[in-house]
Structure 1
Amino acid sequence: MGRHREFCVDAALDAALCVFWRKGYEGASYADLTEATGVERPALYSAFGNKEALFRRALARYHERYLGYLPEALQQPTARQVAEHFLRGAVALNTRFPDHRGCLAVNGVLAGSDEAEPIRQALIDYRAAGEVLLRERFERAKAEGELPEGTDAATLAAFVMAVSHGIAVQAKAGFPREALEAVAEQALAGWPADPRPDRAAAPGS
């Protein structure tokens, strides 16, 4: 019979997630991962597969535990409130933990070696999936008459995602939360006005 693992898989995954979040995919060495998890490399291989597989598991964990503000944003009553909730959520998450600031999905691999290309592409796909959800929500808002007829929902979603990515990069560089909240407010200042006569003057609409 195989020997039972003598560590908590969930705890090890959480520890590995923090290492990847702090150092990125390529910056996180096996020495970093074994030290953080308290698990030797053969046992990590046995539990998670190789480093790429471990990162993919960590990304799924990150989404499950920290990205709840995205589905919450999509449920907001207006498109502007969707964008506001999403950007404020990004600011809060990206600045919450002093020892691993920024966003794993943005800072994990922006540019890397050929060996890191599958992970870089996985993160591109991950971010694109979030952008699709925003675009679909904005398309609904446009169909309901909340956004002007000429609004390009795809461009609007890409704009919101670009601002959130910039927030992640600046948070990683040490920008304070207050400064990044001001960035989010500035981005929202030019939001398309609700063209419906009965809603044009409504605050936050």
Structure 2
Amino acid sequence: MPSGRARQFDTDEALDRALEVFWNRGYEGATLPELTRAMGINKPSLYAAFGNKEQLFHKTLDRYRDGPQAFLFEAFGKPTAREVVEAIFSGFIRMQRGGSRGCLVISGALACGEGSEPVRQELVRLRKETVAAFQSRFERAKRDGDLPADTDCPTLARFITTVLNGLAVQAASEATEEEMKLVAELAMRAWPYADTGDARPPKRSRGSKKASQHGDDQ
């Protein structure tokens, strides 16, 4: 692009289109011709505006976390740890309505060649950050009496992220919204309850009432 010449494309829109390609194809699966075609620009314009492919991926990853994945950070403001997790499960399932693609942070570069190792390591770091965020929130809930005093917060954090990871794989495998909701509900039955004088879990959602009819009468 000649120096001083104004760009003839919307950078935000171009990033959104690049995000769709990376989200659907993964880092290594997304080729430069595919990216430039989706973004409506040529290679020189891509390099001038966004840098190389790795730099472009990092920019789209920031856009992903601030956009489609924003529910994850908003959910941590919920008053109880259980509500945090339920909001995250619900947010993830809603995110799939635009097309089942799973999660970019999970599947973007699970396995890749040596040249893409920095990208894989960055996604590993982000996944570890999520586990740490859950653990920190659960530790606070335990101190506040929202979780039992004997709660194993590191394991609970890994359990929740493991379910999320599994939902991402299921979403990419075209699981339906209802199927993913049932998995999330089943996972929440393992939730530890603090002794507050009423140890019964909250009323189950409509989707799990039928299953409870053949269980106990508590």
Same fold by TM (over 0.5)? yes
Runs of 4+ in 1 over 4 A off after TM superposition: none
Aligned partners of 2:41 and 2:121: how far apart in 1? 28
Q: Are residues 1:173 and 2:173 paired?
A: yes
1:123-162, CA deviations, whole angstroms, 9 ceiling, x for partnerless residues? 1111222222211111011011221122111111111111
Partner of 1:87: 89
Residue-pair matches, total? 201
Which runs of no fewer than 5 residues in structure 2 stay unpaired?
Answer: 204-218
Q: Which has the higher contact order (CA 8 A, sep 6+)?
A: 1
Partner amino acid, structure 2, of 1:134: F
Assess if the C-alpha contact under 8 Å between 1:87 and 1:160 holds in 2: no
Matching of residues 34-113 of structure 1 within 5 Å? 34-93=36-95, 95-98=96-99, 101-113=101-113
Letter in 1 for 2:48: S
In structure 2, give the amino acid aligned to 1:17.
L
CA distance in 2, matches of 1:22, 1:203: 37
Q: Residue in 2 aligned with 1:155?
A: 155
Deviations, residues 56-83 of structure 1 (Å, cap 9, x unaligned): 0000000111122122321222211111
Q: Distance in 2 between matches of 1:192 and 1:107?
A: 29
Does the CA-based 8 Å contact 1:34-1:41 persist in structure 2?
yes
- Provide the C-alpha distance between the structure 2 equivalents of 1:195 and 1:73, rounded to a whole number of angstroms: 24
- The one of 13, 19, 28 equivalent to 2:30 is 28
User: Could you tell me how far 1:2 is from its partner in structure 2?
Assistant: 2.9
Q: How many Å separate the matches in 1 of 2:168 and 2:81?
A: 22
Given the superposition, is the C-alpha separation of residues 46 and 180 from structure 1 closer, same or farther in structure 2, using an over 3 Å criterion? same
- Return the letter of the residue paired with 1:65: G
Higher percent of residues as helix: 1
Q: Percent identity?
A: 45
What is the match of residue 195 of structure 2? 195
Question: Which residue of the partner structure matches residue 116 of structure 1?
Answer: 116
Give the Cα separation in 2 of the matches to 1:151 and 1:160: 14
SS at 1:148 equivalent:
coil
Q: Which residue identity does 1:3 align to in structure 2?
A: R
Q: CA deviation at 1:3?
A: 2.2
TM-score normalised to structure 1 length: 0.93
TM-score (norm 2): 0.87
Larger radius of gyration: 2
